[in-house]
Amino acid sequence: MELISIPNQQAIGKVWLVGAGPGDVDLLTVKAFRLLQQAEVVLYDALVSPEILALLPASAEKIAVGKRAGKHSASQDQINQLLVTKAYTRKSVIRLKGGDPFIFGRGGEELQTLVDAKVPFEVVPGITAASGTSSYAGIPLTHRDHAQGVTFITGHCQLESRPMDWQGYANPNNTLVVYMGILNAEIIRDGLLNAGRAASTPVAIVSKATTQEQQVFKASLGELATLAKHPELQMPALMIIGEVVELSDSLNWFEPNSTSLQGKQSLAL
Ligand code: SAH
């Protein structure tokens, strides 16, 4: 789509691409907090929690552009166009995304549009879901005895066009974090098992991490597909695969106090 800009005019405003973190409002950066309080227009994704949206001034124009399964959402082209249009007429435009805008957030694509339209911008990092989940579920992503590295992948496998590097992901000394993977749990399990990762490798699926509704579901890699179909599993949810998952037995400090859940939520098969 061709972007419409206003000839012979410059944007009066600036766009801040801001990471809102994984859910807990206290995990916002001070910079994000300050910017949100001064925002004139905010375009936000479905993953941004209501507690964070409550920080916006009543006068701010709030535009939901996020995707919620099954519901209509703005197309990427429409979002890009809105960002440019708003920056021509407003001083402070916030593009608010869940987690970190540069991790599976299409932040790069949106900024390219601003570059093309000569709209100034800044990027404010956020705590990505993997970090929030890791801390609040008590699963250190690396550990000298168990994992020398960690890899973040999308499980929204565009399998035909970009094949997944299962051989690389199956490294037993590495922790694998899978974003957007729940619906493809079977493909992920098979890919890793066929590449030689042990079926006994511990896995955790953490849903609504860092919120009062956080739940942790644990099993082994061989059982991943069954775990992903757990009737109580809610979205969004993240998978952590690797020996480090076992550390959560002793490190899970976070106790959500949701009325529908009791105490520490750790559900096994
Ligand atoms: N930019 C975001 C990720 C967007 S992709 C970030 O840095 O976190 C969306 C995926 O992130 C979801 O499908 C889920 O796998 C994960 N996710 C986001 N928030 C989450 C949360 N609170 N708990 C568990 N997973 C979450």
Nearest atom (ligand 1) to Cα of 129: 8
- 14-19 and 92-97 as β-strands: parallel, antiparallel, unpaired? parallel
Using CA atoms, how far apart are residues 108 and 105, in angstroms rounded to an integer? 8
Residue range 238-268, pLDDT digits in tens: 999 999 999 999 999 999 975 444 344 566 6
User: What is the 88 CA–ligand 1 centroid distance (Å)?
Assistant: 31
Do 220 and 114 meet the contact criterion of CB atoms below 8 Å apart? no
Using CA atoms, how far apart are residues 31 and 26, in angstroms rounded to an integer? 12
Ligand 1: lining residues by beta carbon, under 6 Å: 22-23, 47, 97-100, 103-105, 128-129, 133, 179-180, 206-210, 236-238
Nearest atom (ligand 1) to Cα of 97: 1
Q: Is the pLDDT of residue 12 over 90?
A: no
Active site residues: 45, 67
Q: Is the pLDDT of residue 51 over 70?
A: yes
Q: What b/e readout covers 57-84, taking b as 16+ CB neighbours within 10 angstroms? A: eeebeeeebbeeeeeeebeeeebbbbbb
Token readout for 247 is 């550390």
pTM passes above 0.85:
yes
Domains of the chain: 14-124 (3.40.1010.10), 129-268 (3.30.950.10)
